[in-house]
Amino acid sequence: MESTVQVSNQTDVESKEKPQMIYRCKKCRRIVASEDQIVPHERGQGQKCFNWKKRTGDNTTLDEQPSECSSIFVEPMKWMQAVEEGNVGQKLQCIGCNARLGYFSWVGMQCNCGTWVNPAFQLHKSRIDECQF
């Protein structure tokens, strides 16, 4: 009696991978990060985390959730000259055009969603373009 073993072909599934996102400087279009270098973080409690900064009489409610994080956090990379120089925190500038892309701090910083990211290498979404590769 002969037994037949069916092996599924996994190569078809692997070849249809989702395209990877890359992030480019808006000014000079130099690649500054890829999806693999993103440091994910859980959404915080929104404006409740910033309650101590709120003035009285403000018309905004503290229950509002921000629509989306205004920045992405990435791993430290070679193009980040200020990091390579040994600074604890400073602006992150594009190596191609010196445009300010964000900030970094080894101590950490708070995202606009309220989550504390430590260490933080923050790139502002308004300063970078998101492209599929």
Band of residue 123 on the pLDDT scale cut at 50, 70, 90: very high
State yes or no: pLDDT of 15 exceeds 50.
no
Whole-number pLDDT of residue 48: 60
Per-residue pLDDT at 46: 56
Burial per residue of 120-130, b for 16 or more beta-carbon CB atoms within 10 angstroms, e otherwise? bbbbeeebbee
**Cα gap 88→107, rounded to integer Å:** 8
Using 50, 70 and 90 to split pLDDT, how confident is the model at 8?
Answer: very low
Cis preceding-peptide flag for 19 (omega within 30 of 0): no
Domains and CATH numbers, the chain: 19-52+65-132 (2.170.150.20)
Which of the 8 DSSP states describes residue 35? Answer: G
The residue count of the chain comes to 133
Residue written as token pair 């990211």: 117
Which tens digits make up the pLDDT trace of 23-77?
999 999 999 999 999 999 888 765 565 555 555 555 555 455 556 889 999 999 9
CB 56 within 8 A of CB 98: no
pLDDT for 85: 84
pTM of the complete model beyond 0.85: no
User: How many other CB atoms sit within 10 Å of the CB of residue 83?
Assistant: 19
Both tokens assigned to 10: 């996994």
Q: Tell me which residue of 114, 17, 130, 133 sits closest to 74, measured CA to CA.
A: 130
Residue with the larger pLDDT of the pair 89 and 64: 89
Residue where the block lists tokens 């973080």: 41
